[in-house]
Amino acid sequence: MLDSSTISTNANHKAIATWLLACCTVIFGMIILGGVTRLTGSGLSMVEWAPIMGILPPLNQAEWQETFLLYQQFPEYQLKNFHMSLEDFKSIFWFEYGHRLLGRSIGIIFLLPFLYFLFRGKIEKSLTPKLITMFILGGLQGLMGWYMVKSGLINDPHVSQYRLTAHLGLAVVIYAYMFWVALGLLYPKINDISTRLDNNIGRLSLIITSIIIITILSGGFVAGTHAGFAFNTFPLMNGKLIPDGLFEQTPLWRNFFENIVTVQFDHRVLATILFIIIPVFWFKAGKIELQPLARTGTHLLLAALALQITLGISTLLLVVPVALAATHQAGAIVLLTTALFVSQQLHR
């Protein structure tokens, strides 16, 4: 029978985990909205960074004219959107405004419950540094977002693919870390040695999770270089499995981040690796006695892979329609989520 102290601890863990999972849900939405903002060309519509005063949008015609006039002073309007009317500008402004407002909201959604749990003494000492780290990473993410936007407010109205991928990568790290900590609270380690698995399957799950993260980062470079709009055939690229021009830039390393041929090819290769390794993992896991949640997780991982591969190929063949491309980005986070869940269950 559990004593009152253990029952109270478990209740606190469940409450904190529920809060963290709610934050993860909002971050998931933030990542998708960020993708839509990029896909609709809305990311440079707000040319000032005002973390506090920028909460309110333009509220009347004069304020809209002032905001539009400010936008007109930057290269994106002068070189690309010079034909744009005020109504056209509003259509891109709202995506970027929504993205920034949601980012601020995440800070509040995280901070207020954290302070409540902290002052009520519901957070264990070992957990406090993890939660503080999450908050610091969230603040850095806001700075990274503006650092990314600034790269497109100069001569070339195009954000740096390096900064865009760093912004995406940090969002993924925050999401994954928060989700992992929440799972640890909901499903603590099992101390009975008889329940422990061979570490090989656990290591393989971590390898898969790492490859998924690398593939998501690769997708950031695909987005940042607009590589998805080229070579819209599958499985061939320009009629070949290994296309010409893979390493035409010098030095060699630049090809992996700036050459659209190499960038898209790398993303395909990483997706193909997942297409092979996840079914192998699923097959190997099927031969081992697993806890029900871990078993269910392996099935979900395989299903998430099938969905993501289908979305990726469809997005490519249809030349990156906004809705489908955003769904593909969502599918990447779903795949990562299932991989994290499986890994956590296997390492309990």
Q: Are residues 106 and 227 in the same domain?
A: no
From first CA to last CA, the distance across the chain in angstroms is 22
Are 134 and 217 in the same domain?
Answer: no
Same domain, 28 and 158: yes
Q: What is the pLDDT of residue 194?
A: 44
Question: Burial of 107 by CB count in 10 Å (0-12 exposed, 13-18 middle, 19+ buried)?
Answer: middle
How many angstroms separate the CA atoms of 339 and 316, rounded?
24
Model pLDDT, residue 7 = 72
Same domain, 295 and 166: no
Verify that 36 and 109 share a domain, yes or no: yes
Domain final position from 188, 219, 246: 188
Same domain for 104 and 160, yes or no, is: yes
| pLDDT for position 53 | 60
Predicted local confidence at residue 296, as pLDDT = 97
Whether 183 and 196 share a structural domain? no
Q: What is the pLDDT of residues 33-53, one digit of tens each?
A: 999 999 999 999 998 877 766
- Looking at the fold, whether 229 and 104 belong to one and the same domain comes out as no
The list of the chain residues with pLDDT below 70 reads 1-6, 52-54, 191-198
Number of domains, the chain: 2
**Domain of residue 8, residue span:** 1-188
Residue that is last in its domain, among 154, 188, 222: 188
| Whole-number Å distance between alpha carbons of 120 and 182 | 19
> At which of 188, 212, 230 does a domain end?
188
**Same structural domain, 211 and 125:** no
CB-count burial class (<10 Å; 0-12, 13-18, 19+) for 13: buried
173 and 260 co-located in one domain? no
CB 305 within 8 A of CB 281: no
Together in a domain, 201 and 184: no
Residue type, 68: F
Give the phi and the psi of residue 18 in degrees, each rounded to 5: -60, -45
Task: Give the model's pLDDT for residue 5.
Answer: 61
